[in-house]
Structure 1
Amino acid sequence: MPAAAVHALVADDDPMLLALLEAFLQTRGYAVTACGDGLAALEQFERGGFNLLITDRNMPRMDGLALCRAVRARDAGRYVYCIMLTASDEEDTLVAAMEAGVDDFVLKPLRPAELGARLRAAERVLALEAGLAARNEELARAYAQLSRDLELARTLQLGQLPAPQSFDGLRFHGLFQTSSFVGGDVYDWFEPVPGWLAFHLADVSGHGVAAAMVAGNAMHLLRSAAEDVVRAAPEGQGPAALAAAIVAEANARFLRMNASDLYLTVAFGLVHIASRRGAVVRAGHPPPLLSAPGTAAFEPLGEGDVPLGMLPDIRWTAVEFALPPGARLALYSDGITECLDPAGEPFGEQRLRDLLAAHARSTPQQACQAVGEALRDWRGGTFDDDVTLAVLAAG
């Protein structure tokens, strides 16, 4: 550390020794403030700016041990290197001083060569501390910038999700809670062509920025695959064949564009709006839950299959269903069922089904809010995985 960067506070009740110390330190280029006792030194210290303290052991009003303890108890914003002047080299004296926060000792009577060596050691320590502080400031600035970028990314990701929407009496609402700034879950609902309603909930393996970027790409990929497949389909083709073809096309496109080792599970559904007949494909995803009119019970729908992005030329199976007025369909991520309480018990599928059944007559928005509140109460803290739910109510 350059000597000019050292601001020394010196405390000694011997005026002659105090003057000698002040002159010696100034010849080294230090800024020096001299005080005749510990209490006066502490008052000066509280004004700030010091990184070196040289104090006598025995002084009136406040001795050197009390002064060092007081300095260590205060946040100076930097490390303060403490040197104690003492006429005793007994073990008890040195141990007491070190426990008070002293870094080094100089025995009286003072020898300039020894004092100079001790000061050079202090400069090395202070230089290391200053370098560490500078790097910490750089890290703090970088972290602040990263936090701003991640907050913007979160805003952009939330902006990609569809707003609550109704398609000729088919009403959607979603719940989206990430485990960090951004998440690897995504949901969507849209009309690939007039008369057809497509929807999905996808969960990318992993968490954080990479998973969020893949999730955003997957969302647009599924949308474009649905639009292209439905437009090109022969007239009269049913929702099951179309849904399976859409997932297969999405998988082929995902394999072409995905440069990472991430994959995604998807629950994808397609409904013919006029007939309310639909089909759902489970690509490695938890089962959609279907509630028929007149009953509050939610039952799992479909068989599990291979996630997207793992293998080419996979043929997925679609399971058909109907959405007459009063029916409900819920898609969810495993972040809900695998959410652990403080004792380590998972929330579980049955608890989710019971909660949805209890809100079967509520709006989709109210059902999503109820699940979100129940999960926060269950977890009792931040989530370890992204929590996502989409509820479709047929009116």
Structure 2
Amino acid sequence: MLKTMNKNVTFLENPMKQRYLFQESTDLMQTLFILPLHFSKDSWQQTALFSLAESLEIPILFIYKRTKKMRVPPKLPKKTLYLTIPVPADPVEVNIKLNSLQNISMHLFSFKMKGQELEKIYQKSARSMRIARGFQHLCLPTPIQNNHIEIKGLSQPSTELLGDLFFWTEVSDGKYAFIMIDMCGKGIHTALVHMSIRTLIPELIKRIRDPILIIRELKKHMKGLFQGMHWEDTFNACFSAFIAYVNTRKRFIEYVNCGHPPAILHAPDTNYILKLSEGAGPIGCIKETPITKVVFHYEPGSRFIIYSDGLSKSPSPSAAERTERIEKEFIENAHLSTHDLLQALLLSRMRHSEIDDDISIIAGTLF
């Protein structure tokens, strides 16, 4: 009957020797697999053939003899797609069921090919992400520690790529510059803008040496970066920033805060606390706001932290309550080393809820 239908059929009678048939995906398109079910008078025997059907996700036609005492099998494979047919069988029924299985075979082959292609895309994307993350990690600044200042940082990404950026450097003898940027949104576009700004920062802060002028240069850079793009594609093309210069010889700080969480300065000897929050709105937003620079003197031994809103953002408690908590924890842990202080602040945030935003913290001491 099968020969007259010109069907290419493989009978699965010795599964251990025939297992190679399923190693190549093209078999699903070329061959229909037929599995004869062995039985006793009133039960189905659990043979190696049945185990094969259970282990392989292939379309199989189960054949059994039509007898008076034959009953419906107690269970059939769950992982494979199959049809059953009793023999002797009607040619029309056989043709319908074989065509149905062939259609199933074609769909399975198509899904398998798509799955393999998606896996290749995923592997390629994952490798690209690892390389990009490596680049971002290499761009993190090295700690500074001398008789005038100590600076260390911590970065905890929420996804593969960082949206936060921080950098510091000594711009001249005894004068240091800090910058922290928190990109709006997440994803590859955020990382691209992040790296674009990161390549600009070192030369910019050494050449200009004024927070207000740096803000203007960053605004100009963002405007040129997104020129010609649709408005909806640039909606999240903005970022908050904290930029500061510290003169350790004259002991004064000048800073601009552009929509960033307030940095905190604490003088342990006098318990003086200062929140550095003044400046302007986020960079890249449509609405322009005036830029205010603040200049003030600090006491020797003052400690400071600068952080992104990932540290204060949590479902519960509110961001405002978390900000107060951060200030309290900073002061309570002011006796710790800078490394331990950074770890204590991160651990406290991790206790509250799952981290769904990048966390960046700069901490240090002004001697």
Report if TM-score (shorter chain) is over 0.5. Answer: yes
Name the structure 1 match of 2:250: 275
For the residues of structure 2 that align with 1:327 and 1:151, how far apart are their CA atoms? 38
Name the structure 1 match of 2:216: 248
Contact conserved, 1:55 with 1:83, CA < 8 A, in 2? yes
Name the structure 1 match of 2:360: 388
For the residues of structure 2 that align with 1:322 and 1:24, how far apart are their CA atoms? 98
Give the alignment's Cα RMSD to 1 decimal: 3.5
Per the TM alignment, residue 246 of structure 1 is displaced from its structure 2 partner at its CA by 2.3
Unmatched 5+ stretches in structure 2: 228-232
Contact conserved, 1:56 with 1:63, CA < 8 A, in 2? yes
Structure 2 residue 156 is matched with structure 1 residue 192? no
Instruction: Report SS of the residue matched to 2:240.
Output: strand
**In structure 2, do the counterparts of structure 1 residues 65 and 253 end up closer, same or farther at CA, with 3 Å as the change threshold?**
same
Contact conserved, 1:287 with 1:301, CA < 8 A, in 2? yes
Per the TM alignment, residue 312 of structure 1 is displaced from its structure 2 partner at its CA by 7.8
Contact conserved, 1:65 with 1:97, CA < 8 A, in 2? no
For the residues of structure 2 that align with 1:134 and 1:100, how far apart are their CA atoms? 19
Per the TM alignment, residue 98 of structure 1 is displaced from its structure 2 partner at its CA by 9.1
Name the structure 2 match of 1:4: none
- Picking from 195, 199, 210, the partner of 2:189 is 210
Name the structure 2 match of 1:16: none
Residue type of the partner of 2:303?
A: R
Name the structure 1 match of 2:133: 154
Per the TM alignment, residue 297 of structure 1 is displaced from its structure 2 partner at its CA by 6.9
Contact conserved, 1:66 with 1:100, CA < 8 A, in 2? no
**In structure 2, do the counterparts of structure 1 residues 307 and 48 end up closer, same or farther at CA, with 3 Å as the change threshold?**
same
Structure 2 residue 22 is matched with structure 1 residue 54? no
Residue type of the partner of 1:126?
A: S
Name the structure 1 match of 2:230: none
Per the TM alignment, residue 87 of structure 1 is displaced from its structure 2 partner at its CA by 3.0
Contact conserved, 2:303 with 2:365, CA < 8 A, in 1? yes
Name the structure 2 match of 1:225: 204
Name the structure 2 match of 1:114: 93
Unmatched 5+ stretches in structure 1: 1-19, 36-40, 231-241
Residue type of the partner of 1:389?
A: I
Per the TM alignment, residue 154 of structure 1 is displaced from its structure 2 partner at its CA by 0.5
Per the TM alignment, residue 200 of structure 1 is displaced from its structure 2 partner at its CA by 1.3
Instruction: Report SS of the residue matched to 2:365.
Output: strand
For the residues of structure 2 that align with 1:120 and 1:353, how far apart are their CA atoms? 72
Per the TM alignment, residue 336 of structure 1 is displaced from its structure 2 partner at its CA by 0.8
Identity of matched residues, %: 19
Using the TM superposition, name which of 324-333 and 220-229 deviates more: 220-229
Per the TM alignment, residue 129 of structure 1 is displaced from its structure 2 partner at its CA by 0.6
**In structure 2, do the counterparts of structure 1 residues 61 and 33 end up closer, same or farther at CA, with 3 Å as the change threshold?**
farther
For the residues of structure 1 that align with 2:219 and 2:78, how far apart are their CA atoms? 66
Residue type of the partner of 1:130?
A: F
Contact conserved, 2:63 with 2:87, CA < 8 A, in 1? no
Per the TM alignment, residue 360 of structure 1 is displaced from its structure 2 partner at its CA by 0.7
Residue type of the partner of 1:355?
A: E
Per the TM alignment, residue 53 of structure 1 is displaced from its structure 2 partner at its CA by 4.5
**In structure 2, do the counterparts of structure 1 residues 28 and 62 end up closer, same or farther at CA, with 3 Å as the change threshold?**
same
Instruction: Report SS of the residue matched to 1:275.
Output: coil
**In structure 2, do the counterparts of structure 1 residues 331 and 106 end up closer, same or farther at CA, with 3 Å as the change threshold?**
same
Per the TM alignment, residue 80 of structure 1 is displaced from its structure 2 partner at its CA by 3.8
Contact conserved, 1:263 with 1:309, CA < 8 A, in 2? yes
Per the TM alignment, residue 131 of structure 1 is displaced from its structure 2 partner at its CA by 1.6
Using the TM superposition, name which of 80-89 and 154-163 deviates more: 80-89
Contact conserved, 1:281 with 1:317, CA < 8 A, in 2? yes
**In structure 2, do the counterparts of structure 1 residues 93 and 248 end up closer, same or farther at CA, with 3 Å as the change threshold?**
same
Per the TM alignment, residue 125 of structure 1 is displaced from its structure 2 partner at its CA by 0.7
For the residues of structure 2 that align with 1:97 and 1:303, how far apart are their CA atoms? 71
For the residues of structure 2 that align with 1:155 and 1:318, how far apart are their CA atoms? 35
Name the structure 1 match of 2:281: 306
**In structure 2, do the counterparts of structure 1 residues 258 and 193 end up closer, same or farther at CA, with 3 Å as the change threshold?**
farther
Instruction: Report SS of the residue matched to 2:36.
Output: strand
Instruction: Report SS of the residue matched to 2:208.
Output: helix
Per the TM alignment, residue 140 of structure 1 is displaced from its structure 2 partner at its CA by 0.9
Contact conserved, 1:86 with 1:105, CA < 8 A, in 2? no
Contact conserved, 1:286 with 1:332, CA < 8 A, in 2? yes
Using the TM superposition, name which of 264-273 and 287-296 deviates more: 287-296
Structure 2 residue 262 is matched with structure 1 residue 287? yes
Name the structure 1 match of 2:324: 350
Name the structure 1 match of 2:225: 257
- How many residue pairs get aligned? The number is 349
- Picking from 339, 342, 345, the partner of 1:371 is 345
Contact conserved, 1:201 with 1:266, CA < 8 A, in 2? yes
Contact conserved, 2:312 with 2:349, CA < 8 A, in 1? no
Per the TM alignment, residue 102 of structure 1 is displaced from its structure 2 partner at its CA by 6.5
Name the structure 2 match of 1:316: 291
Matches within 5 A, 1:100-139: 103-139=82-118
| Deviation by residue 1:318-353 (Cα, 9 ceiling, x = unmatched) | 222333321012111111111347xx7768112222
